[in-house]
Structure 1
Amino acid sequence: MDLSKIDLKQYQDVLDKYSDDPTVTYAVSVLTGKKVAGDLIQRASLRQLMDLQRQGSDDFPYIYKPDRAERIINFASLLRDLQTNEPFVLSPYQEFIVSLLEGWIDPRVKEAKRFDRAVISMSRANGKTAIMAVLSLFNFLFGMPSHNRQLAVASADQSHANALYGYMRSQWEELKEDSFSSVQKRLKVEDNKIQMTIPSQATTMKKLSDSSTTTSDGLGHFSYAIIDEYHLFKNRDFINSITSGQAFMPYSQTIFISTAGVDLRSPMYSDYKRFSKLFEDGHYSEMDNILFLFWQQDSDDEIYEPDTWIKSNPLFELPEMKQSATTKLIAERDELIATGKRNDFITKNLNRFVNAKDDAFLTAQQIEATVIPEEDFNIDGRTVYIGMDFSAVNDDFSVGFVFPYTDDNGVHKFHLLNHSFIPWEKAGSIQAKSKQDAINYEHSEELGYATISTDPYGQINQEQVFWWLAEFNELHQLDVQAILYDAWDSKSFVAQLDEVFPEIMTIPVKQTIPQLYEPTKFLRDGIIRGQITTFDDEILQIGLSNAITVGNPSGYKINKAKNTSKIDCVDALVDALYEGMYYFENFTNIEPLKKKSMFDGMSPEQIDEYYQNISF
């Protein structure tokens, strides 16, 4: 985000009205560059000023009440820092968080909060547990509704759930013996290792974890929940069991807090991509009920720029914290790099998603950089190479399209498009397969990147694939140069192609390293160099993130770490690139056809007879 283009004078009314408000103070320090911050926090800061100015407009019903924000800040001052035993003082960035969560209300329902969802992230050891303990304890004691509040602190496993719940409970133990002794006499809070209750209000705060829950049913209906270490969740089942029913709870709020992770199939990464895109496009109004605060470095390369690490470590705004932590982090960085664990530092200490599989084909940053809007590339009438990866029982049948093109700057590029046919026989249903593969296939089908099997047994019908391809090529008037394919289980399909489309070359590609190394390397290098583009296709992006490299001294090809890690769409594109990568070069992988001889098909006797009868 270019801060030089932001004119704060247009928000002067807001700056005057809320001059002492912690959200405005923080936002101004970020937007003036006095406080170094990453792009997403710059945008979150601008969003707050814009929202404060939007109050009273017809399309924005929400109201910001500074006194509500001040109330929780004052509450926090009664707590103690459990590490130093000193009074707990919120840092400016922590005040920014709690004020946004508690200060904004929806006046259409008394005391209802504006943000019913929040995704908050920063590097580890930046005080996120302390912030969440303040918020959860405050809402347990004073939240809405006044009776029958059901709250939860939860994580993917017991250890993380214990950390947050234990911190909150310890704070309460200190509080009830001191400044809240009268409150304790009045409320008679009961607490143990798994829950805290206020019997007179029928209010309960439960500690939950996905790993210790045998079923997602019957957990309860929670109006307030904090989900810690969101990146550890493999799917949304447990989360949905907590949030189910909140649509009918006007006071509900669920907060997801976490560092970044290494699983690019996780729900957190999906949310991160979606909300980041809305922020980058300035479409804040499409998420008026969602708070998105993501402190992270803007590039993996900033691993070598300690002066920028405040972007992902917001507690560096405290000089003493920055001074003591920077030296230790530099030493940790150097050690991890020396031991081949650079990505660990990028994830945990710079708060960036990375593809941390052993021998990962590409990084998250590299995959994300390929995506362009659909309106920026029209496939109609273009030259194309088509690759096909045929389906085994549980694999997708993927069709990959490689479009060579020259951009406005004269640079040769390749646009990749995937369409996958999804079987669900082994999984039992498409919903079960989506959960198993961590891909929302029904959504991908809506976007046009997939066709879910309509076969009553959930298998792939090759006839359906054939005619889909024929109609797709006709609809978009594609100039098909060749169809390339893995020969496995392809005989009848290719025979039909040759019969119906004799003018299109069909080329088998052996699935061995000598044949696949060059197109695989071309794909990887092209993505790294910015010469390959894609659309925002979840199946393709997850396929690229699932891919690992396997090889020998002569080269490598892609593979997958486990059966449910789908890479079929990438295999199809590699096949297409086997020939497509040479489009701009005077070279081909196709062996020239031998010229037919007039003697083809003749026996030696027939040839002899020909020459006996010929006259010179």
Structure 2
Amino acid sequence: MDYAKEYAEKVVNGDRIAGQKVILAAKRYLNDLQKQADDDFPYFYDQERANKVISFMELLPDPKTMRAYPLADFQRFIIANLYGWWRKDDPSKRRFRKGMLSMARKNGKSILISGVALYEFLFGKSPEFSRQIFCTANDRKQANIVFTMIKKRLNALRAFDQGTKKGTKITRDEISNLDDYSYVRSLSRDTGTVDGFEPHVGILDEYAASRTIEMMELLESGQALLDNSLILIISTAGFDLNAPMHTIEYPYATKILNGKVEDDTYFAYIAEQDSLVEVDDREMWIKSNPILSVPALHDQVYGYLDKRWTEAKQKGTKNSVLVKNYNMWRQAEEDSYMDIDAWNRAEVGPENIDGQRVWIGIDVGKSSDLFAISWLVPKDGYWYADAYAFVATKYGLDAKIKADRLDYRRLQAMGQCEISKLESGVIDVERVYAWLDDFVTSHSLDVQAICFDPAQYGPLMTQIEKGHPEWEQISIRQGTLSLSMPTKQFRDDVLDKRVRHSGNEVLTGAMANAVLQSDNNGVRINKNKYSNKIDAADALLDAYAVCFREDLDNYLTDDDVLSDDFGF
């Protein structure tokens, strides 16, 4: 039986309610089944091999009851994809080398992946010997969750199969295959180095909690000489919108599913709610909780979710439940300034700004923190926003990355920030001015204003007055009386896509962190909350406070005025 096809057809036909990303995964599978007959499509689907792995997993006991259960339909779909697709040029080599499985908690992610680890540990053939399988996470406790589950399920197998008992060994820190020298271990940032590290299978558990790409890079670099390796990311959504899962893997997987990126070696199954509105519709909960397709669990899961959501609405803790139980990425604060989904919808990617008018906002953090420059360029009917940051390392770059929840090394490589090169680690104001001068000159920008928060701005003001006296510098009073209107208007303009942006992660991270405060004069971003993590947003609002009164729809350029068509 083709379990994957049966599930995919139900999802696509609407017989099984599913979220948009699951529907796209189902369509991808069905389309690839059609394409495998083409000579230029390098993969084929082997239903027998897929079913063999599914049958093995359905023999494994649940560690809570020590009884074996059939896999749910969505679990069969996942395993069939991972183990059904193979390369035509070498049928021993898997197609999917990386996979993301994301769904709400208590939907069997860990137990499913423990089955994958056990299958590779006991029956993997490529390589035939010395397969290394690592259960990794941000910390040791989390890394041990899947590892402990593997031990319990293997112990159950050993209890009724003498061959498995003789051929394996279980210790506190390692599970060993005595026949082919393969092993399973847990690994986290605080584990230390591993000799001969070549992870045949690397499992990243609850990747949403990882603040850097350190563990991902460790796994990928260790697989450099392996030609049949696998990395599996399993995680529920999180609150940290600056986490690499949300900024890198989740958008990349989404682009693969919607066809914007082509990567035939990356499998993605993302079960989430498509909107906040549908969380009040019980029939839609299966989108983020696909385990609801199991009749035996139906009433129990519905009762649990109903209780969680009802209490969350009464207690004001909806965000926590939306993240954990409905797999929706949410900002940590209920009073967040910007709806991050609206912000993401306003992304247009990098745009050409050469020769354009520009309003530049500058927020000078402490010399040991962050120095943000953001700008707004008028386009056809909207403002285009982007940013750049200078990062201090006075108290250590790793400590700053951890505190700000932004991987500045990666962002520097992407051209979105610059890490201080001074031995002291503080930000070099002369370097900031040199960058700004080069930025304006190289893009032939027509600077309308430099809009700044006066706090600690003096040294840069002097540099600009000497080098570019023609640039008007405007001090923006940092109070609700002057910032309330532009702060509210900016948010409305993002919703209406009258403000769009490049997707800059420093700026996006700042918007995700921004929280409103209010007084009798209005509202503004709370600069005391998250401190230097919102500098880029503050800088952008300083620029917007000056330029938002410009009429984007009826602006006249010098060329318009001098043209033959101009008249009163």
Q: TM-score, normalised by structure 2?
A: 0.87
Q: Quick one: which of 14, 22, 28 aligns to 1:41?
A: 22
Q: Deviations over 1:77-109 (max 9, x none)?
A: 222344455431011100011111122223555
Once residues 413 and 40 of structure 2 are traced to their aligned partners in structure 1, the CA distance between those partners, rounded to angstroms, is 29
Question: How many Å separate the matches in 1 of 2:378 and 2:140?
Answer: 51
Whole-Å separation in 1 of the counterparts to 2:295 and 2:214: 42
**Greater Cα shift, 525-534 or 247-256:** 525-534
Does 1:100 pair with 2:77?
no
Matching residue's letter, 1:343: N
Shift of 1:200: 3.0
CA distance in 1, matches of 2:206, 2:52: 27
Q: Is the 8 A contact 1:22 1:92 kept in 2?
A: yes
State the number of aligned residues: 550
Residue 318 of structure 2 aligns with an amino acid whose one-letter code is R
Question: Which of 55, 59, 63 is the aligned partner of 1:74?
Answer: 55
d(CA) in 2 for partners of 1:42 and 1:463? 53
Aligned residue among 205, 209, 225 for 1:248: 225
Alpha-carbon separation, structure 2, partners of 1:209 and 1:441: 21
Aligned residue type for 1:233: S
Query: What amino acid is aligned across from residue 333 of structure 1 in structure 2?
Result: W
Does the Cα contact within 8 Å between 2:514 and 2:525 map onto a contact in 1? no
Q: How far off its partner does 1:25 sit?
A: 1.6
Partner of 2:555: none
Q: Give 1:381 shift.
A: 4.2
Q: 1:12 — aligned with what?
A: none
* Structure 2 residue 510 is matched with structure 1 residue 543: yes
Check if 1:201 corresponds to 2:168: no
Equivalent of residue 393 in structure 1, options 342, 350, 367 = 367
Quick one: which amino acid aligns to residue 204 of structure 1? Answer: Y
2: CA distance between counterparts of 1:559 and 1:215? 38
- Taking the aligned partners of 2:422 and 2:175, their CA distance within structure 1 comes to 51
Question: Deviations 1:182-240 (Å, cap 9, x if unpaired)?
Answer: 4434x2x1113332112232121113344xx2535658332112222221222232343
Amino acid of the structure 1 residue aligned with 2:527:
N
Q: Distance in 2 between the 1:315 and 1:568 partners?
A: 42
* More divergent stretch after superposition (357-366 vs 312-321): 357-366
Shift of 1:124: 0.8
**Residues 454 and 81 (structure 1 numbering): CA distance in 2 closer, same or farther, change over 3 Å?**
closer
2-structure distance, mates of 1:54, 1:109:
18
Q: For residue 558 of structure 1, what is the amino acid of its counterpart?
A: N
Identify which of 100, 105, 129 aligns with 1:119. Answer: 100
CA distance in 1, matches of 2:392, 2:145: 42
| 2:117–2:150 contact (8 Å) kept in structure 1 | yes
Corresponding residue for 1:339? 315
Kindly provide the amino acid, as one letter, of the partner of residue 414 in structure 1: W
Q: Secondary structure at the match of 1:240?
A: helix
Deviations 1:446-492 (A, max 9, x none): 55433454556655443443344344334444443322112233335
Please say if 1:558 is aligned against 2:526. yes
- Equivalent of 1:415, from 368, 375, 384? 384
| Residue of structure 2 equivalent to 1:4 | none
In structure 2, the residue matched to 1:226 is 203
In the TM superposition, 1:225-374 aligns within 5 A as 225-279=202-256, 281-285=258-262, 287-357=263-333, 359-374=335-350
One-letter identity of the residue aligned with 2:21 = L
Maintained 8 Å contact 2:42/2:88? yes
Q: Is residue 167 of structure 2 the alignment partner of residue 191 of structure 1?
A: no
SS at 2:450 equivalent: strand
1:535-565 CA-partner distances (Å, limit 9, x unpaired): 12111111212223345454342336456x5
Are the structure 2 counterparts of residues 133 and 393 from structure 1 closer, same or farther at C-alpha, using a change threshold of 3 Å?
A: same
| 1:573-588 alignment, distance < 5 Å | 573-584=540-551
Which ranges in structure 2 are unaligned for 5 or more consecutive residues? 553-568
Once the 2 structures are TM-superposed, how far is the Cα of residue 500 of structure 1 from its aligned partner? 5.2
Q: Secondary structure at the match of 1:559?
A: coil
Matches within 5 A, 1:155-166: 155-166=137-148
Distance in 2 of aligned mates of 1:320 and 1:528: 43
- For 1:429-440, list aligned pairs within 5 A: 437-440=404-407
CA contact (8 A) 2:243 2:406 kept: no
1:545 to 1:181, Cα distance in 2 relative to 1, 3 A: same
* Larger radius of gyration between Structure 1 and Structure 2: 1
CA deviation after TM superposition for structure 1 residue 414, in Å: 2.9
Deviations 1:321-341 (A, max 9, x none): 334422431232121121111
Does the 8 Å CA contact 1:404/1:580 hold for their aligned counterparts? no
Q: Residues 74 and 478 from structure 1, CA distance in 2 versus in 1: closer, same or farther, beyond 3 angstroms? A: same
Range that drifts further, 295-304 or 447-456: 447-456
Normalised to the residue count of structure 1, the TM-score between the two structures is: 0.81
Q: 2:559 maps to what in 1?
A: none
Q: Can you list the C-alpha shifts for 1:507-559, whole angstroms capped at 9, x where unaligned?
A: 11133343333333333343345432111211111121222334545434233
**Counterparts of 2:389 and 2:186, CA distance in 1:** 41
Aligned with 1:515 (options 478, 482, 485): 482
Is the 2:273–2:327 Cα contact (8 Å) retained in structure 1?
Answer: yes
- Superposed CA deviations along residues 43-90 of structure 1, whole A, max 9, x for unmatched, are 111222233333365654333221211111111222234445543101
1:152 aligns with 2:126: no
SS of equivalent to 2:406: coil
Separation (CA, whole Å) in 2 of partners of 1:423 and 1:390? 12
Change (3 A) 1:466 1:152: closer
- In the alignment, which residue of structure 1 is the partner of 2:162? 181
Match of 2:560 in 1: none
Any conservation in 2 of the 1:444–1:537 contact (CA below 8 Å)? Answer: no
CA apart distance, 1:405: 4.7
Distance between the aligned counterparts of 2:84 and 2:21, measured in 1? Answer: 21
Does the aligned pair in 1 maintain the 2:134–2:187 contact within 8 Å? yes
State the alpha-carbon separation in 1 of the partners of residues 486 and 86 from structure 2. 55
3-state SS, counterpart of residue 36 of structure 1: coil
Alpha carbons 2:383, 2:500 under 8 Å: kept? yes
Amino acid at match of 2:92: E
2:152 is matched with which residue: 170, 185, 201? 170
1:427 aligns with 2:396: yes
Tell me the alpha carbon deviations over residues 141-174 of structure 1, each in whole angstroms, 9 at most, x when there is no partner: 1113222122122333444334323332222222
Is the 8 Å Cα contact of residues 44 and 88 (structure 2) preserved in structure 1?
A: yes
Secondary structure at 2:526 match in 1: strand
Helix, strand or coil at the partner of 1:397: strand
Please tell me the root mean square deviation across aligned C-alpha atoms, in Å. Answer: 2.9
- 1:30: which partner in 2? 11
Whole-angstrom CA distance in 2 between matches of 1:164 and 1:288: 27
